[in-house]
Structure 1
């Protein structure tokens, strides 16, 4: 079971890398006011959602304790990110505030995962 959990952790990290990487590649465009949500951002957020849910299930099936409050907060943040990216995915230009919010929430989600024990 440990190998399977580690595979899903790796996939979860790939999802966050895709979401954050997509944001970082648009930083110059954001300062110019022409940023847009690239497909990698949507796919990364969806990957995080699917692998995160799988990780909770696998950890519970392996009788490991799961901090449900932490998972709930991370899920709520991810749903906001996913909602913003999904709704605005076809827009040619994204407002700087909305685009910055997605980047900020992504970083917040990373720090919640790392610092909340």
Structure 2
């Protein structure tokens, strides 16, 4: 079971890398006001959602205690990110504040995962 959990952790990290990488590649465009949400960001957020839910289930099935408050907050932040990226994915330009909010929420989600013990 530990191997399966570690595989899903790896996939979860790939998802966050895709979301954050998609944001970081658009930083210059954000400064110019031409940033847009790309497919990597959408697919990264979806990957994080699916693998995160799987990780909670696998950890509970393996007898580990899961901090449900932490998971709930991370899920809420991810749903906001996913909603923004999904709704605005076809727009030619995204407002700087909205685009920056997605990047900030993504970084916040990373810090919640790493620092909240």
Normalised by the length of structure 1, the TM-score is 1.00
5 Å-filtered alignment, 1:1-117, equals 1-117=1-117
Aligned equivalents of 2:110, 2:73: Cα separation in 1: 12
Give deviations 1:9-33, integer Å, cap 9, x for gaps: 0000000000000000000000000
Q: SS in structure 1 opposite 2:36?
A: coil
Q: Structure 1 segments of 4 or more deviating over 6 A?
A: none
Normalised by the length of structure 2, the TM-score is 1.00
* TM-superposed deviation, 1:61: 0.2
Q: How many residues align?
A: 117
Aligned equivalents of 2:73, 2:107: Cα separation in 1: 14
Give deviations 1:72-100, integer Å, cap 9, x for gaps: 00000000000000000000000000000
Aligned equivalents of 2:64, 2:77: Cα separation in 1: 23
- Structure 2: which 5+ runs fail to align? none
